[in-house]
Structure 1
Amino acid sequence: MFFGIAGKEKVMYKSGSDRLVYAWSLLLLIFLAAVGLVIWWGVKPFSPQTIDEQSVRHDERFVSDTRLLAKKEFGGAVYDLYPAIGGGGSGGGGVFMKDSGKCLGLLSYEAPGVTLAVPTSAIRQWTKEKCVAWAIDHTIPMPSDEELKKLLIED
């Protein structure tokens, strides 16, 4: 049973809008599964019960423990699923922790009630594979202009 994924906790909703967000998220997950995605999740894939609507402003979202692993269609890419609304044109923007400012990932795809982001761990791995880790790690020295011109820009 899908709603049993959350474990022993009962999923509680505070308003009709929570149910709507959850319904859209569920529909997106069904669609993604139909196009060949494997869904990996933690203990609580969706936790609308953690939102205190009186203390959460419109632009402050919550993050689920859900992770998607795309098999074929997206070249084996890993995504984190955020049941929050991403604005159009936000792709490539960061997802940050409010308290620490730590970057969790970069927005990749937005749909009603759901946002997919490439996690920073996948970004770090890609930069190491392509020998451009200096772009995100200030401890690695930047290559010379001659070396930069030799890099392939197709990747």
Structure 2
Amino acid sequence: MSLKQLAAFLNRDRNTVMKYLDQGMPSVEQADRDRGIAWVIDSAEAVRWLEERAARNVAEKLGGDTKSVTKDEAERRDWVARMVIREKDAAESIGMVAKIHDMLDLMRQDYVELTLRLGAIPDTIAGKVDSKISARVRAIADEQIQSALKALVAVDEAQKRHKG
């Protein structure tokens, strides 16, 4: 699979996949512009590498170095992870916390509804003023509404923080 194909397959941009390769993602053949050779990447190996990388990252966040972990330490970390999950599940079940993806879905729905309703305002206002100035009023209202909508960043920021 080429670099471009793998990027599309993983739903990542080309630069991100290049970063993965720089970090050690396995490849069948490295690109060489001078010789006209493109990247060749085994998608199964790439996915396996990403899974292992994600597991290492999680393990490091939960308890540090993963290379020299004893069986007892691994069991302790597993116990801690299960405890954290149970506490999270309990907090969700009694309404102390909300699932991030549920909140993002609600925010997206509200954003769509807000966009639709605000988009109708310029025409409504223009229809209620003198016809000589209605086009100008419509343009001003539309410009202000579009500017306000562009300033809304909650959904994008929440997604970035959730993935980060």
Same fold (TM over 0.5): no
Give the TM interval when normalised to the shorter protein.
Answer: under 0.3
Q: With structure 1 as the length reference, what TM-score do the two structures score? A: 0.21
Larger radius of gyration: 2
Q: With structure 2 as the length reference, what TM-score do the two structures score? A: 0.20
* Structure showing the higher helix proportion among its residues: 2
Greater RCO (CA < 8 Å, at least 6 residues apart): 1
